[in-house]
Amino acid sequence: MTRLLTSDIEKIVERMALHEKELQVLTGNGMVTIAADAAGVSVRSLFPWMQGMRVGIVPVTTGLGIINGFSAAIEGILDFMGIDCFVTEQTDVAGMIEAVNNGAQQLFMADDVTCSLLDLKTSLSADNSICTGKGFAAALAMKSGSLKDKVVSVLGVGPVGCAAIEYFLSKGAKVAVYDKDADRLEALQGKDGVIICQSRHAALALGQHYFEATTASDTITLADMSADTFVAAPGMPLGITQEAFEQYQANIIHDTLEIGVASMVTCLMAEKAAFMQKHQQFAS
Ligand code: 2YC
């Protein structure tokens, strides 16, 4: 997983409204609609749950420490979604206690390995990598129209790529996958709908659309692109060459945190709704 730099995220808050417009032009939908699709539920069904949220964002100093601007970026994204949230003054465990003492119903925390949104009432949690994979897969499906019987090339089959693969397979697509880590490819061997490729080019040659979830920065070039090739690229840094990005910007969905964080909210609240309804049955 790539550790973001302040330069990757410092413009997120001021660009939220512009990014929302970009997503609407790119996919026909705004960020929350994309994220709700990633969670497999309607925006309407999520509203009461999102309105009941109060998220304590707790800066975490472990490992390589705090990223200046990270907590503020998370707060900006949640604010844009209309979610009650605050960044704690204190960090780490003291920050968690401060959040709970200030009525937090959920905690948002990230160290160098995991970035999670935890619901305190149900102990359910949403993982940034998995939700990012679902969110960008949903955005690509919206952009490309039905993926049924289409082939999507997936570069990078870590947690983000694998979550996207599940989404594409659930929509009746096939996936042509490549990862430089042979063990990750091996783990997908024999899975229905998955075509294991031995090179990036082989995977890109088979797909009408692309999903880029690697930590490399030049996996998709101008020669790989065409006017009707759409790309969802959650990978950081951007896995598409500058010249390809400039020529096909209208075909490419990319951001550094927004879609993934919005999808963490919708996936957690969808899971919480199902959990509470199930327990309601037992309670009533
Ligand atoms: O400021 C803080 O609280 C830091 N501990 C945050 C570290 C986040 C490290 N992870 C990342 O930069 C990326 C993000 C996209 C989320 C997942 N990985």
User: pLDDT tens string for the chain (284 positions)?
Assistant: 789 999 999 999 999 999 999 999 999 999 999 999 999 999 999 999 999 999 999 999 999 999 999 999 999 999 999 999 999 999 999 999 999 999 999 999 999 999 999 999 999 999 999 999 999 999 999 999 999 999 999 999 999 999 999 999 999 999 999 999 999 999 999 999 999 999 999 999 999 999 999 999 999 999 999 999 999 999 999 999 999 999 999 999 999 999 999 999 999 999 999 999 998 865 55
User: Distance, CA 279 to ligand 1 centroid (Å)?
Assistant: 33
Candidate of 115, 132, 215 to mutate for ligand 1, largest count of ligand atoms within 8 Å of Cβ? 115
Nearest to 265 by CA among 45, 32, 100: 32
Nearest CA to ligand 1 atom 4: 66
Count of other CB atoms within 10 angstroms of residue 1 = 15
Pocket, ligand 1, Cβ cutoff 6 A: 1, 3-4, 59-60, 66-67, 70-71, 110-112, 115, 128, 257
Q: Which residues contact 95 (CB under 8 A, 6 or more apart)?
A: 56, 58, 59, 60, 88, 89
The pick from 3, 6, 88, 117 for probing ligand 1's pocket by mutation, whose C-beta has the most ligand atoms within 8 angstroms, reads: 3
pTM: 0.97
Ligand 1 centre to CA of 224 (Å) is: 31
